[in-house]
């Protein structure tokens, strides 16, 4: 759709130049936009390592802890029990109802994400391309 729209903006015989400029934008912005997406996720939607095991699985399953801690309950992932200083203290408790076993970062105690700010930044940067085309129409039409 965007290519067809750009082609309609071009004067007769200059469609190729307009389409080349459209493709050039994609070529130039692919690597920086990938890095920008990674930065946005890290800054506004961070990982929650205190609620995941060493393999990255969530500690989402309730479990009774064995041994000398038999009256204690905790959480485990599909691979290991989530106990220790690297994990959130909310993953342990005296009874299973006091234990929070998160299946997502949003359920992880103490985790804060700001996805609404991230999506606002994505919206603003997405609007920049059509605005630049409109602002450069006079130059592109050779007038």
51 touches 58 (CB < 8 A): yes
Q: Which pair of tokens denotes residue 143? A: 């007038």
Domain extent, residue 74, equals: 49-107
**Looking at the 3D structure of the chain, how many domains does it have?**
2
Q: Could you tell me if 60 and 96 lie in one domain?
A: yes
Q: Could you tell me if 88 and 127 lie in one domain?
A: no
Place of tokens 């905790």: 74
- Compute how many other C-beta atoms are within 10 angstroms of the C-beta atom of residue 41: 14
67: phi then psi, degrees, rounded to nearest 5: 75, -145
Q: Which pair of tokens denotes residue 21? A: 């400029």
Q: Could you tell me if 91 and 135 lie in one domain?
A: no
Look up the pTM and report it: 0.63
Q: Could you tell me if 69 and 86 lie in one domain?
A: yes
138 pLDDT band, cuts 50/70/90, is confident
What is the per-residue pLDDT for 12? 83
What is the per-residue pLDDT for 18? 80
Residues 57-115: pLDDT tens digits? 999 999 888 765 556 888 999 999 888 888 888 888 887 778 889 999 999 998 999 99
Question: Residue 103 and residue 54: Cα distance in Å, rounded?
Answer: 15
Q: Could you tell me if 92 and 117 lie in one domain?
A: no
Relative to beta strand 61-64, strand 73-76 is antiparallel
What is the per-residue pLDDT for 16? 84
14 pLDDT band, cuts 50/70/90, is confident
Task: Report CA-CA distances (Å) from 75 to 91, 99, 106.
Answer: 6, 8, 16
């Amino acid at each position: 759709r965007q290519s067809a729209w750009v082609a309609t903006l071009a004067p007769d015989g200059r469609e190729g130049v307009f389409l080349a400029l459209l493709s050039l934008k994609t070529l130039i912005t692919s690597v920086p936009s990938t890095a920008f997406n990674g930065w946005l996720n890290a800054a506004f939607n961070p990982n929650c390592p205190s609620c995941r095991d060493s393999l990255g699985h969530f500690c989402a399953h309730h479990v009774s802890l064995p041994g000398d801690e038999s009256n204690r309950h905790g959480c485990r992932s599909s691979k290991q029990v989530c106990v220790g200083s690297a994990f959130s203290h909310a993953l342990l408790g005296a009874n299973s109802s006091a234990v929070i076993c998160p299946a997502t970062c949003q359920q992880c105690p103490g985790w804060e994400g700001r996805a609404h700010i991230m999506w606002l930044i994505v919206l603003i940067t997405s609007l920049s391309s059509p605005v630049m085309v409109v602002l450069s129409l006079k130059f592109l039409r050779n007038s």
